[in-house]
Amino acid sequence: MTESHPAPATSNSAGNPHFILEHTFGYTGFRGDQEAIINTLVAGDDALVLMPTGGGKSLCYQIPALARPGCGIVISPLIALMQDQVEALRAAGVAAAFLNSSLGYDEAQQIEGRLLRGELELLYLAPERLLQPRTLDLLARAKISLFAIDEAHCVSQWGHDFRADYLQLSCLHQRFPEVPRVALTATADQRTRREIAQRLDLANARHFVSSFDRPNIQYRIAPKNNPKRQLLQFLNNEQQGHAGVVYCLSRSKVESTADWLQQQGFNALPYHAGLPAHVRAEHQRRFLREEGVIMVATIAFGMGIDKPDVRFVAHLDLPKSIEAYYQETGRAGRDGEPAIALLLYGLEDVVKLSQMGATSECSEEHKRQERQRLDAMLGLCEITSCRRRALLRYFEEELAADCGNCDTCLETPATWDASEAARKLMSAVYRTGQRFGAAHVIDVLRGADTEKVRQFGHDRNSTYGIGADMSANEWRAIARQLVVRGYLRVNAEAFNALQLTEQCRPVLRGEETLLLRTLPKSAPAKASGRDVSAGAPRAEISAEDQPLWDALRALRKSLAEERGVPPYVVFHDATLREMLSARPRNRDEMLAISGIGDSKLTKFGEPFLALLQEFEPACTDV
């Protein structure tokens, strides 16, 4: 035994991870790899942690930072979020602080003083701040328990969140060889993993790769027919008063969608890179602090938003890859409560995205890769089997069974024999010279009398009017599926003309039967089949419990406002829900509720106990 090993802690000692989990964070057990990761760091070794959003990465470095002597340094790229993270820790009684450019000189001095005096347990820093020689010198004079590198995928030059500063973080290993380091990310793909290990000099770190499944997120992907109405129906029927994110591709669509939702009476706010910084900051603040705000945003919004109670993420445009889809939908349901990821997509998305790819300045190789990623995304949209299995398979993870919590599991998609319709469409594409986009080809098929039809003499074409029995919407859906499955392609370099591929020969010759998804009727969602929300085991509040539930939330809100923190810093929804069902009557029973530790009990226990007592049915002696 050498002296560097921590003394074996007994289960009730204050430096013991389990004790900290219970008393500081109010939880009864570790999840997944948490305990193994914490033990690795407590023992002084390095770790690389890949865990999906909501998996519980924070505790993996917070607990060892508390268990080891010295202050834990957390490197996070998002200055805007540091304050909330630090507030949440303070509510749990942890001596936490952040150092960033938002602080004045005096405040920063004060925090540096506390660090040097050993009064801090956790300190959050942005990478650029950390790498300043001044900061590195400061750290060299302090006692450091560990370095946690959050959002570690920012070292990846291929990812969309690349930060040049992150590359230099490998210097920590040289300057502080005895301090354990942990790098954490929710990015699932293999290449990024390898890059992190290599660039952060974590070759000798233990790797912890969790399952990337997010079982509480219900995946739904539907063709777009009337996106506004589809969204409205979803919000009205299932998401009343819930917080969520609606993603759109363009800034103008963000603005118009947010306006429209406001007109419909929703608390919706726009967010995109074109808005002034103070407006963005204000909208982000409101999203975090107020309840039930819907953020309508481009993908500029979201990285590291660790609001736990986002109940839905809706995409009104197709994400450009499965990685992006997974990351964006992953912002829903971090608290583990049921959440829904809804994606609406259509032929125009495919066209728009391939256009963006074709006109970008990137190399051919890069474009080809982008195209492949888009194809994989489209494949996910069109499959008729379990979405979650396909999604995880993409990240090289195999689920043992269908998930039971995605749209295709909940309601098996019906298919129909579309061979003849496909032949008609392919013929129309061919006979009009493979020079026209879907809209015109469909006009020809349906025998429409448009100027363009007359201009090109297509009213005399042999395919003119052969598809008049189906609506334009139905034809668009067929065209979309044929593109996605590779029978047709959209040539972005030639006015998005539809063209035939080799693959369509057997269909044209009648040798292949083509089964496509049954087209959704334009009428409101069919009443047949099961309710797709049935798979979500959301514990709805009963009418009887509603008054107490509202009162609990109102109390949480007023306590949060008094302190100027988001409501979830006081208690998460799951904690309130448990209070509602367990009805604790004293401090001990209160402590047994998940999410209530010593500090929160002291700060918030009394007012909640008093409130619960008010709702206690009048006592009748037996």
Q: Residue 306 touches which of ligand ADP, Zn ion, none (CB < 5 to 8 A by kind)?
A: ligand ADP
Considering only the stretches 25-33, 36-44, 105-113, 612-620, report the one whose residues sit in contact with ligand ADP under the rule CB under 6 A.
25-33
Cα 316 from chain centre? 15
Q: Residue 334 touches which of ligand ADP, Zn ion, none (CB < 5 to 8 A by kind)?
A: ligand ADP
Q: Which of 323, 425, 332, 419 is nearest to 380 (CA)?
A: 323
Min dist CB 32 to ligand ADP, Å, is 9
Distances, alpha carbon 464 to alpha carbons 428, 432, 500, 504, in Å = 8, 10, 18, 21
Is residue 94 within the footprint of Zn ion (CB under 5 A)?
Answer: no
Is residue 221 within the footprint of Zn ion (CB under 5 A)?
Answer: no
Is residue 30 within the footprint of ligand ADP (CB under 6 A)?
Answer: yes
Is residue 406 within the footprint of Zn ion (CB under 5 A)?
Answer: yes
Residues 243-272 that bind ligand ADP (CB under 6 A): none
Phi, psi of 55, deg, nearest 5: -75, -20
Phi, psi of 148, deg, nearest 5: -110, 120
What is the x/- site pattern for Zn ion, positions 381-400, by CB under 5 A? -----x-x------------
Is residue 55 within the footprint of ligand ADP (CB under 6 A)?
Answer: yes
List, as one string, the DSSP characters of 59-121: HHHHHHHHHSSSEEEEE-S-HHHHHHHHHHHHHTT--EEEESTTS-HHHHHHHHHHHHTT--S
Q: Which of 258, 341, 403, 444 binds Zn ion (CB under 5 A)?
A: 403
Cα 400 from chain centre? 24
Residues 293-332 that bind ligand ADP (CB under 6 A): 306, 308
Question: Is the Cβ of residue 188 or residue 498 nearer to ligand ADP in the bound state?
Answer: 188
Question: Is the Cβ of residue 128 or residue 402 nearer to Zn ion in the bound state?
Answer: 402
Residues 217-236 that bind ligand ADP (CB under 6 A): none
Question: Is the Cβ of residue 27 or residue 487 nearer to ligand ADP in the bound state?
Answer: 27
Is residue 193 within the footprint of ligand ADP (CB under 6 A)?
Answer: no
Question: Is the Cβ of residue 59 or residue 403 nearer to ligand ADP in the bound state?
Answer: 59
List CB contacts of 553: < 8 A, sequence separation 6 or more. 291, 567, 576
Strands of 243-247's sheet, edge to edge?
217-223, 339-345, 310-315, 243-247, 294-297, 268-271
Min dist CB 81 to ligand ADP, Å, is 11
Q: How far apart are CA 52 and CA 330, in angstroms?
A: 8
What is the x/- site pattern for Zn ion, positions 449-478, by CB under 5 A? ------------------------------
Q: Which of 621, 620, 596 is nearest to 608 (CA)?
A: 596
Question: Is the Cβ of residue 54 or residue 357 nearer to ligand ADP in the bound state?
Answer: 54
Q: How far apart are CA 383 and CA 12, in angstroms?
A: 52
Question: Is the Cβ of residue 57 or residue 272 nearer to ligand ADP in the bound state?
Answer: 57
Q: Residue 57 touches which of ligand ADP, Zn ion, none (CB < 5 to 8 A by kind)?
A: ligand ADP
List, as one string, the DSSP characters of 455-501: HTTGGGSTTTTTTTTS-HHHHHHHHHHHHHTTSEEEETTTTTEEEE-
Query: Are 96 and 570 within 8 A, CB to CB?
Result: no
Query: Are 391 and 384 within 8 A, CB to CB?
Result: no
Q: Residue 386 touches which of Zn ion, ligand ADP, none (CB < 5 to 8 A by kind)?
A: Zn ion
Chain residues binding Zn ion by CB under 5 A are 386, 388, 402-403, 406, 409
Chain residues binding ligand ADP by CB under 6 A are 27, 30-31, 34, 51, 53-59, 306, 308, 334-335, 572, 594
